[in-house]
Amino acid sequence: MHLYQQLQRDTVADRNYLLAAPAIQRALAGEAEYQDFYYVRPGIEGRPPNNWVSKFGGPAWAPFGNTGDYFLHLYDVTQADLNWHNPRVREEMAKVVEFWRDAGYQKWFARDAAFDAQFRRRFEAAHFAAACGEYEAWMASAEGALALQILLDQFPRNSFRGTGHMYATDPLARHFARQAIAAGHDREIDEKARLFFSLPFSHSESLADPEFAVACNSSVGGDGLKHAIGHRDIIKKFGRFPHRNRILGRETTPEEQAFLDEGGFAG
């Protein structure tokens, strides 16, 4: 099952999954600063604040833990709506993009332990919040969509090197990347950063995805296209990325080992 669908199924059955997310936890603990990240309102005699209906049907308000308050979810109950009237909400999104752009191309694809540690220290909580669906509202803008790709596709690769968590949010990154491309958000982003909307497809081991990444980069050319073709060709040949086998507990075939020994792509 698609990771995003799995998260939705699990959290509809058990809203505690959403309520365990870092920012929500701080809001539940009574921190007003974090409560204002969401639309949290008191109930009226044990009922929701008003009769608003979710786009998916049913009340648009759900109990906010055991506080007696309710949080707004205009879509799924697992997706608490962010309070876009709060400047801090936009600032969090902007900080992610600003950090990544300031780092620049040389840091993006280098192995740099100091940079990885800084990235993790600053945005680990944001990564897990994005993985829980807390920042889905960021998809309303191109910069927000880019921030989600950085948190879900790039952050794990820098911060969890050598572990399976590197790939844990890949399906969710692709889910948002598809939405972003369909909405034209990628075309609003500068050419260098635009690459991060197609990378989630290059990172997939399902051939249709890296083929799509090649198509996305065909009009741009350059390193982006070269990278996409290289990843696509590995999946065509092996059906997977051989360098992931050890991390994911998979057996490496002699052909894959020869590829790695000869200097083939190793992540």
pLDDT at 13 over 80: no
Residue 151 in contact with residue 92, Cβ under 8 Å? no
Provide the mean pLDDT of the chain.
Answer: 87
| 8-state DSSP, 38 | B
CA distance 123 to 24: 16
Residue 101: per-residue pLDDT: 96
Percent of the chain exceeding pLDDT 70 equals 91
Half-sphere exposure of residue 150, counting CA atoms within 13 Å on the CB side?
28
Q: What is the torsional sign of CA 24, 28, 32, 36?
A: positive
Residue 74: per-residue pLDDT: 84
Residue 168: per-residue pLDDT: 94
The least confident of 17-31, 32-46, 148-162, 170-184 is 17-31
- The string of pLDDT tens digits covering residues 32-90 is 877 888 899 999 999 999 999 998 899 999 999 888 999 998 877 877 787 878 888 78
Write down all domains in the chain, each with its CATH number in brackets: 3-72 (3.90.400.10), 87-261 (1.25.40.10)
Residue 8: per-residue pLDDT: 38
Residue 210 in contact with residue 201, Cβ under 8 Å? yes
